Amino acid sequence: AYVREAFDLYRDALETGVLPENGYLSGFNYKNIIRLGTALGELAWTENFLHTSRDILHPAERDMLFTYNLAYWYFQQQDYNRALPLLQQVDFEDPLNNLDVRRMLLRSYVELEEYSALDSLLQSFGAYLRRQKNLGYHRKNNEKLLFFVKKLLETDRKGRAALRAEVEATQDVAERAWLLEKLRSG
């Protein structure tokens, strides 16, 4: 219910022109509106907003934000082939957005069975986590994700139940619901 309420508030604010500051829509608001619209299944409206609001993003971040959010939109439709090339173009200074991009890449590679690219990403993602000193709990959550994805790749069908139990027993794993689904279905 709160997702719908937040989405409706954003839409009202857009219609009344309240959101843009100094003529620009913040990347934070742009991202939130797209996340909310996608979560609610407002796909046509969200895709239209994604494209039509691009011009009111600040020019310094416009291309990166548009590419990132378009990749997210495709990713949420499970259109990994269209999301991947966009995700590969995105490079944020912000570590949390960077983590989000890396997790979408990881999941896309798994879903598309692109194991060579996945192996390379697992290595670079791990190195990124070790280098970044300002991630707080996000570091551990993502390290656990990498650990379990590596185990998933090494585990045969018979071992999946045990690995699923291990994931279920582990707190604070990034992409936990996706991992459990992969272990259930795969």
Q: For the chain, give the mean pLDDT.
A: 95
Rounded mean pLDDT of 4-25? 94
Q: What is the pLDDT of residues 104-113, one digit of tens each?
A: 999 999 999 9
Confidence class of residue 93 from pLDDT cuts 50, 70 and 90? confident
State yes or no: pLDDT of 186 exceeds 70: no
pLDDT at 12: 95
What are all long-range contacts of 56-59, with beta carbons under 8 Å and residues at least 24 apart?
56/20, 56/23, 56/24, 56/25, 57/24, 57/25, 57/27, 57/30, 58/24, 58/27
pLDDT at 1: 82
pLDDT at 43: 95
pLDDT at 177: 96
Q: What is the pLDDT of residues 61-73, one digit of tens each?
A: 999 999 999 999 9
